[in-house]
Amino acid sequence: MQITEAFSIVMQLAEKLGVRKINEIEGCWEVDVNESWSLSLNGHKESTKDSSGCEVPPFEMSITYNGLPAGIIGPTGGIIFSGGEDDFINAVKERINTHQQEGDL
């Protein structure tokens, strides 16, 4: 099984932020990637609602763009609005790089 690039890069962001054991977080792990992109990742075996009330499937993440639903991505696939996946990945990479340069997020 190959992990999607989007899911993999979010795992790298979690590591940079010091997030561990997402399955032990109550509800979803939620993070604003930048002023446009945010995500809610469900580390549980059952669907879980995020703080906005969105139902996030097990082991998948809900992605929003400018506050609007943009996609659902899991470790092996998913869907995001046309052209959005590359923009989302680049935003996450930028956040990781900013963290490395500034020492904090």
Q: How confident is the model over 85-101, as pLDDT tens digits? A: 999 999 999 999 986 54
Phi/psi for 11 (5° steps) reads -65, -35
User: Using CA atoms, how far apart are residues 88 and 96, in angstroms rounded to an integer?
Assistant: 13
CB 6 within 8 A of CB 89: yes
Phi/psi for 104 (5° steps) reads -155, 170
Q: Domain map of the chain by residue range? A: 5-93
Q: Give me the pLDDT at residue 34, please.
A: 96
CB 80 within 8 A of CB 62: no
The pTM (predicted TM-score) of the whole model is 0.87
Q: Give me the pLDDT at residue 99, please.
A: 66
- The DSSP secondary structure of 49-73, one letter per residue, reads E-TTS-EE-TT-EEEEETTEEEEEE
Using one digit for the tens of pLDDT, what is the confidence trace for 58-95? 999 999 999 999 999 999 899 998 788 999 999 999 99
Using one digit for the tens of pLDDT, what is the confidence trace for 26-42? 999 999 999 999 999 99
For 16, 23, 43, the CA distances from 95, given in Å and listed in that order, are 10, 23, 21
